[in-house]
């Protein structure tokens, strides 16, 4: 009667082996160096990035790696995670420690030429120290057992394999056009995307969702306390990238006026400026965050989640960073290119003064963003520069 037990165990092992083999061959998450199914048909599902990216950064051999938070992940969206030699290794809420771990893995790739790294004030604060969650840390540090469980012996992986095989069977012609575009998108695609945005602006989203996000960002910025250790980690990493001969492009990403207002009315504008000043002492960078035309064009952001810019903006920005010139740019692309300022330790003071001047100019006009945040910010904790925005303090620049 051992036979029945044996039959059951054999069937179980065969079933699990079959699933593992399917997932390995189809490789839906790009977690294994297997290329039997065209990777063009791969698709990173929203919410799966923290699982897939730490594996993909090990197996792909990109020449360019993008790093940053969800702004970069969704703003410079690449459906397959990796396409046309560019790997989007940004993660939702990516901490500095996570970015550093990803960089360490990316530097093992002999084909790597360039890292485009979007950094943010909040990543240098106490609350963003370390890894955001234990599984991501385990994946980044390398755990074969977890990789097997998540990418081979997993029902989700099997479902993803099925989806990938279906797309492969349907063929390239059934893929949406943007899934095969070069990275960054070419000018004609960008122009068409911006035209579409102009004709169907999203109108700023519903007020409940907007208020929720304002509260969220007020809380996040309000509790931020810069951590000295993060600066050390950052500086050491920059040195390591340079030592490896990799071209590093650092940037402060575009922020919508609503977010800038949560910083300003939350009393963190001086800290934001000080952070930018210190950043310039470590490395020159592109600064896209300020009260410029781009920040005020709500239709270019995914309201009510105003922290995310739309993929067309992200790819226009990528073109600015990768190709420099903007000869064949359309109007909106030109506007995005103009929003970026190259900042180094020599020019940073003048740049910060320009940013302050722009801030005063815009806030005195009291656009929608100023009023919306004022309505929510707690008067007891609101800082003096709210008064400044109302024009009662004569516009002195605080803390500089």
- Cis omega (within 30 of 0) on the bond before 217? no
Interface residue with another protein among 5, 177, 200, 380 (CB under 8 A) is 5
Q: What is the dihedral of CA 216, 222, 228, 233, to 10 degrees?
A: 10
Residue 15 interacts with another protein (CB under 8 A): yes or no: yes
Query: Minimum CB separation from another protein for residue 139, in Å?
Result: 14
Look-up of token digits 């009260």: 291
Cα diameter, the chain: 92
Query: Minimum CB separation from another protein for residue 19, in Å?
Result: 6
Q: For helices 257-265 and 368-376, what crossing angle results, to 10°? A: 40
Residue 2 interacts with another protein (CB under 8 A): yes or no: yes
How far apart, in Å, are the Cα atoms of 260 and each of 205, 221, 297, 388?
18, 10, 13, 15
Q: For helices 257-265 and 207-222, what crossing angle results, to 10°? A: 50
Query: Minimum CB separation from another protein for residue 135, in Å?
Result: 8
Residue 1 interacts with another protein (CB under 8 A): yes or no: yes
Residue 153 vs 192, nearer CB to another protein: 153
Q: Is 3 helix (H, G, I), strand (E, B) or coil?
A: helix
Residues numbered 145-164 forming contacts with another protein, rule: CB under 8 A: 149, 153-155, 158
Residue 147 vs 297, nearer CB to another protein: 147
Residue 26 interacts with another protein (CB under 8 A): yes or no: no
Query: Minimum CB separation from another protein for residue 9, in Å?
Result: 8
Query: Minimum CB separation from another protein for residue 306, in Å?
Result: 23
Residue 243 interacts with another protein (CB under 8 A): yes or no: no
Interface residue with another protein among 19, 148, 226, 238 (CB under 8 A) is 19
d(CA 360, CA 25): 58
How far apart, in Å, are the Cα atoms of 334 and each of 293, 295, 337?
11, 14, 5
Residue 4 interacts with another protein (CB under 8 A): yes or no: yes
Q: Which residues bind another protein (CB under 8 A)?
A: 1-5, 7-8, 10-12, 14-16, 19, 149, 153-155, 158
């Amino acid at each position: 009667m051992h036979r029945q037990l044996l039959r059951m165990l054999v069937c179980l092992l065969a079933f699990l082996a079959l699933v593992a083999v399917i997932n390995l061959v189809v490789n839906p998450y790009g977690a294994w160096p297997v290329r039997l199914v065209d990777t063009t048909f791969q698709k990173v599902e929203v919410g799966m990035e923290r699982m897939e990216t730490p594996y993909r950064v090990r197996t792909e051999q990109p020449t360019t790696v993008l790093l940053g938070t969800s702004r970069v992940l969704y703003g410079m969206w690449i459906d397959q995670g990796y396409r046309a030699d560019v790997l989007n290794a940004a993660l939702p809420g990516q901490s500095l420690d996570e970015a550093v771990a990803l960089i360490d893995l990316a530097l093992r790739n002999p084909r790597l030429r360039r890292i485009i790294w979007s950094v943010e004030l909040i990543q240098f604060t106490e609350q963003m120290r370390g890894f955001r969650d234990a599984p991501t840390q385990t994946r980044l540090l390398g755990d074969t057992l977890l990789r097997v469980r998540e990418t081979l012996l997993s029902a989700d992986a099997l479902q993803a394999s099925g989806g990938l095989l279906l797309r492969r069977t349907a063929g390239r012609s059934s893929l949406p056009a943007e899934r095969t575009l070069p990275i960054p998108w070419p000018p004609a695609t960008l122009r068409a995307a911006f035209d579409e945005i102009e004709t169907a602006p999203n109108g700023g989203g519903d007020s409940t969702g907007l208020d929720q996000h304002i509260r969220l960002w007020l809380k996040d910025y309000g509790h931020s306390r810069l951590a000295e250790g993060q600066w050390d980690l950052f500086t050491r990493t920059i040195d390591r990238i340079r030592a490896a001969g990799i071209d590093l492009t650092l940037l402060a990403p575009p922020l919508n006026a609503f977010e800038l207002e949560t910083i300003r009315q939350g009393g963190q504008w001086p800290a934001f400026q000080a952070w930018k000043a210190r950043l310039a002492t470590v490395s020159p960078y592109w600064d896209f965050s300020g009260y410029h035309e781009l920040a005020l064009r709500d239709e270019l952001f995914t309201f009510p989640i105003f922290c995310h810019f739309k993929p067309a903006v992200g790819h226009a920005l990528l073109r600015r960073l990768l190709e420099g010139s903007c000869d064949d740019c359309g109007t909106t692309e030109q506007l995005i290119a103009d929003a970026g300022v190259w900042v180094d330790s020599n020019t940073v003071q003048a740049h910060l003064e320009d940013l302050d001047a722009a801030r005063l100019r815009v806030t005195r006009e009291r656009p929608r963003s100023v009023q919306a945040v004022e309505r929510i910010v707690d008067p007891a904790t609101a800082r003096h520069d709210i008064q400044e925005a109302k024009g009662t303090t004569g516009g002195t620049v605080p803390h500089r």
